[in-house]
Structure 1
Amino acid sequence: MKKLNDLLVRIPEIQARAKQRTEREPLPGKPLPKNVVQLPLWPEPVRAVPNGFLRSALFGAIGKGKRRYMQGELVAAVDGVEIRYTGQRLDQGDLDVWESVLHAVRLQELGGQCRVTSYAFLKLMGKTDTGSNRATLQTRIERLRANALTVKQGRYSYIGGLIAGAAKDEDTQEWVIELDAKMRPLFAADQFTQIEWAVRHALNGQPLAQWLHGFYATHAKPFPMKVETLLSLSGSENTEPRSSRQKLRKALDALTDASATYGEGFGYDIRGDLVHVQKRASGPQRRHLAKLASKPRKPRG
């Protein structure tokens, strides 16, 4: 409860810092002509991901080691989201790479060829340009290409892969990446969330904390959730109740600290089997809440 109270006291300071950061970071460019399919434009300090991917175990909170292969399996997800996946299990490191691909592609036509060097990719992820990191980058791009998924999110469905195609010039280390333009509806105005990259990057090496950051970023006003439900949605492979509960608390503590460092309000309290979270909604989320509040409520029968 103390963490929640501390957060409430700091909300004015957090809001002021967030506003200053937003004002310093204009959008990166102008939209392309209307007849060109393009991802939404978002500022440099954030990364955008479809809500269904963040509210599911598609990019799981799993550790290093051998990946299980999934064949058309239903991925754990919140109500309203359905994902069937074929391929090696994906983790939070794979999500870092996919977010970086989206971040580069957003400035040009979706479905076209996006050219970016290994150095630029690694820089986007806050990593140094080393042989080891280049090899890991290639492994993750191969994994993102060698999969298939069916996503039902809201009124839209998408059947395809996370990356439509990829090629690399071994001499210049330039990648040519293509995404499927048909995934654009997954980025409709109310279907994706902007993730604060600084917070996510600060949680590097803590997959459960990173997953929780993405999950709660999609909620303007989080509702209490059971510990076991959160762990299931995260794709956690820890089956020992006491140990998994301790790891969840540790991950929430890390998320609270990282959020405070970068002016993104977050606090939590675990009461019994329920996790209660208090956070500062983003600008779009606050507008969404205001819109809901302004709608007349239907009388209950």
Structure 2
Amino acid sequence: MSAKPVANILANLEKTIAKHEAAKVYQLPFWPDPHRGFPNEVIRSALFSAIQSRHRTYLENEEICCQDGYKIIFTGQRLDQTHLDVFEGVMHVARGLHEGNNVRFSAHKLLKIIGRSTGRSDHQWLDRTFQQLTATSVKIMDKNGERVFWGSLLPSGAADLTTGGYCVELPRHLIKLFERGFTTVDFDRRKLLRGKPLAQWLQLYYSSHARPYPVTVEFLRNLSGSSATVKKFKQNLQDRLEELKTFGFINDWKIENDLVNVDRTPTPAQQRHLANRSS
């Protein structure tokens, strides 16, 4: 077979794949209360950093540390774990919906969903947080450097601040983040770690791995987006891992030769995944 027919076959195949992709309607997965679904590409990175709000800085087209296999470029004010709670709160309301839908909710309802108070200052905080999430540009590329996702985490919406009613767009690219893999976490248990962003980040990171493999302290420091020195981060890491063990999030942990080893029990779904891999 000559090179030209092969090239034509490949071109036609690419057109067919593109046509099927364009025709596909994506749907946000459904998870039950009190769980929350977190895209793996989000929680295996420093996109929502393990930092306190006072340490948030502005980044311009900078690469965000993430796990091997993809690349994240970010512009905007750094995001933290509280931003992640709001983002996932909206996704929780929207779970099960198809792309293109508008998600409607009240500020009071969303604040209750993410476990915050519902006073006037909390309503104002929520509105500011929405603006901060919208004022971001996130580009997630695969290992080949092809663009997979590019846009704002919450592109657009509308609100009536008098009644507290909100309406947020649910675009295709956000749902595709979940399509590529997500992890569910009991949010009531996550709230036990509020105010301790590294502990919250570690819980999500290790929950996304059925069988966590050893990584260095420096790796976790970079991946969590911590701005602490290595020495200070290591001490904080030890304290937070012990806290995760106390609360039953992990079974045990140890650091040997700067390698962090964590033992946790896989979820039933992860156990089935491991069984399928070994069969």
TM-score (norm 1): 0.80
Q: Specify the code of the residue in structure 2 equivalent to 1:293.
A: S
Partner of 2:62: 73
Shift of 1:214: 0.7
* Contact 1:162/1:179 (<8 A) preserved: no
Deviations 1:96-143 (A, max 9, x none): 000101001114333221110010000001112111111111111111
Task: Quickly say closer, same or farther: Cα 1:203–1:64, change in 2 above 3 A.
Answer: same
- Confirm or deny that 1:41 pairs with 2:41: no
State the alpha-carbon separation in 2 of the partners of residues 58 and 124 from structure 1. 22
For the Cα contact (< 8 Å) 1:48–1:195, is it kept in 2?
Answer: yes
| 2: CA distance, partners of 1:66 / 1:234 | 13
1:152 deviates by: 2.6
5+ residue gaps in structure 2?
1-22
Aligned-pair distance for 1:49?
A: 1.3
Aligned equivalent of 2:139, options 150, 154, 160:
150
1:182, 1:67 → 2: CA distance?
26
1:111-130 matches, cutoff 5 A = 111-130=100-119
- Write out per-residue CA displacement over residues 64-87 of structure 1, whole angstroms, 9 at most, x where no aligned residue: 215311111110011112111111
Residue of structure 2 aligned with 1:95, choices 84, 88, 94:
84
TM-score by length of 2: 0.86
Structure 1 residue 35, shift from structure 2 partner: 7.4
Question: Are residues 1:276 and 2:261 paired?
Answer: yes
Paired residues for 1:1-301 under 5 Å: 37-65=26-54, 67-152=56-141, 157-188=148-179, 191-239=181-229, 241-258=230-247, 260=248, 264-294=249-279
Q: What are the ranges of 5 or more consecutive residues in structure 1 without an aligned counterpart?
A: 1-33, 295-301
- Quote the offset at 1:36 in angstroms: 5.3
Structure 1 residue 153: Cα displacement: 5.1
CA distance in 1 between counterparts of 2:96 and 2:273 reads 26
User: How far is the alpha carbon of 1:199 from its aligned partner?
Assistant: 2.1
Provide Cα deviations, 1:195-222, integer angstroms capped at 9, x if missing partner.
Answer: 2212211100000000001110110000
TM-aligned CA deviation for residue 265 of structure 1: 4.3
CA distance in 2, matches of 1:211, 1:139: 22
Q: Which amino acid aligns with 1:275?
A: V
Q: 2:20: which partner in 1?
A: none
Contact 2:49 2:79 in 1 (8 A): yes
Indicate conservation of the 8 Å contact 1:56/1:233, yes or no.
Answer: yes
Q: Give the distance between the partners of 1:142 and 1:183, measured in 2 at CA.
A: 17
Query: How many percent of aligned residue pairs carry the same amino acid?
Result: 37
In structure 1, what residue type is equivalent to 2:227? Answer: E
Q: Is the Cα–Cα contact under 8 Å of residues 153 and 186 in structure 1 kept in the other structure?
A: no
Aligned residues of 1:62 and 1:237 also touching (Cα < 8 A): yes
Distance 1:111 1:254, change over 3 A: farther
Per-residue deviation, residues 209-247 of structure 1 (Å, max 9, x unmatched)? 0000111011000011111111110000002x3222111
What is the one-letter code of the residue matched to 1:73?
Answer: E
Q: Is the 8 A contact 1:208 1:234 kept in 2?
A: yes
Shift of 1:154: 7.6
Compared CA separation, residues 154 and 114, structure 1 to 2 (3 A): farther
Q: Is the 8 A contact 1:52 1:153 kept in 2?
A: no
CA distance in 2 between partners of 1:153 and 1:202 (Å): 34
Kindly provide the amino acid, as one letter, of the partner of residue 155 in structure 2: A
Paired residue secondary structure (1:65):
helix
Q: 2:17 is matched with which residue? A: none
Q: Is the 8 A contact 1:118 1:174 kept in 2?
A: yes
The answer on whether the counterparts of 1:115 and 1:175 sit within 8 Å (CA) in structure 2 is yes
